[in-house]
A and B are shown apart, each in its own frame.
Chain A
Amino acid sequence: MTRENSLVSAQWVEEHLDDPKIVLIEVDEDTSAYDKGHIKGAIKLDWTTDLQDQVRRDFVNKQQFEELLSSKGVSNDDTVVLYGGNNNWFAAYAYWYFKLYGHQDVKLLDGGRKKWELDSRELTDELPSRETTSYTAQEQDHSIRAFRDETVAAIGTQNLVDVRSPDEYAGRLLAPAHLPQEQAQRGGHIPTAANVPWSKAANDDGTFKSDDELRQIYTDAGVDWDKDTIAYCRIGERSSHTWFVLKELLGQDNVKNYDGSWTEYGSLVGVPVVLGDEKGEA
């Protein structure tokens, strides 16, 4: 993948607002953001209710995903353009999720909702109506999803990229700073993980930095481009943003997102944890 076929600009979206084969989908951490105004024609996915199993800690299964997209009026051959707030944090998660279930043509709106708003582009309260479809998903593509055992096995052998803020990496905070900090799991990071906060990949307006700048950021942090990579954060959303950068923008092979992330790893019995700003030893 490259920037040209995984990202679109706000201008491009404005020019395609009335194209029925292009489906705009807003996915926000703040699930009420859509209701305060959204891009014309955009539908909403709620990451807490639509994309997560409501009993187990896991994603909705293939059949549920098919039912979801069918009910929203998304077809297999539609171009899905995702956008959201906070540098596309949750939109990037949805992008990874759509790829997990094999949707062919997915793109991110560069800069997401924030850039759209900062540009003073139009938002609407009008709800779109789309005919229901018969969507068929693929089996989950585990070449882009890491689980805990392979993450533990990757210590000292693969690139582990911890994309949380430096204070979360060091164990000084247990959650992003806009969320309450009371958590059950231990603080710290996986030994040998490099700390490259996900937000380093974005400019202030939420757009992605250039490929050269991005490559330099990960090189400086010690990422070995000849090795496979697992990215993680707290619950797997911010690391989807980094997965997007490494896999879709920079074209790196074998990049996985560990969606169990720190809330799983930091609660495991018997695994090594490093506190402080240093990577630690395998």
Chain B
Amino acid sequence: MCGAVKGGLSLDGVNVAKEAVIQGQVLRGDQPVGNAYVRLLDRTGEFTAEVPTSATGHFRFFAGEGDWTLRTLAPQADPVDRAVHAQVGSVAEVTVALS
């Protein structure tokens, strides 16, 4: 898919120094899952944003600094929660493995 590069989707045109990026890929085994939904929940568990994964299973959020939870929903899979810490000026990479 367009923009699918190692380590996540292209960040061309985004000033990463000002952003707290959380990104990654959803996998089932070693296969990318292109029809999953990844939700970003804040430190209180409140929904903040949701994105569908790309054809290569990738997703990205521009979060604030702090602790977040990624909740991944996909067909024929139980939801998977992953804790992640975001920091301005850095990119937090997360791989979500579906059972």
Binding site for B on A (CB under 8 A): 30, 33, 36, 85-87, 114, 117-120, 165-167, 172-173, 175-182, 197, 199-200, 204-205
Contact = CB atoms under 8 A, between A and B. Distances in A.
Nearest to A202: B47
Contacts of B14: 180
A30 B60 CA distance: 13
Interface string B5-39: 00000000011001100000000000000010101
B19 A180 contact: yes
A109 B46 CA distance: 24
Majority SS at the chain A contact face: loop
A173 B49 CA distance: 12
Given A36-B55, A167-B42, A181-B62, 4 more contacts: A30-B52, A85-B52, A177-B49, A177-B61
A166 B73 contact: no
B40 A120 contact: no
Contacts of A176: 48-49
Contacts of A175: 62
Contacts of B40: 177-178
Contact of B42 (A87, A165, A181): A165
Contacts of B52: 30, 33, 85-86, 114
B11 to A, nearest CB: 10
B91 interface: no
A197 B46 contact: yes
Nearest to B86: A177
A125 to B, nearest CB: 13
A202 to B, nearest CB: 8
Interface string B58-89: 00111110000001011110010000000000
Contact of A165 (B18, B47, B55, B79): B47
A30 B59 CA distance: 13
Report which residue of B19, B39, B64 has the largest number of chain A beta carbons within 10 angstroms of its beta carbon: B64
Contacts of A199: 47, 50
Given A85-B52, A165-B49, A178-B49, A172 B64 contact: yes
Contacts of B49: 165, 176-178
Contact of B51 (A172, A178, A204): A178
B62 A205 contact: no
A120 B49 CA distance: 23
A167 B48 contact: yes
B99 interface: no
A152 B44 CA distance: 30
Contacts of B18: 181-182
A181 B73 CA distance: 25
Contact of B73 (A118, A167, A172, A173): A118
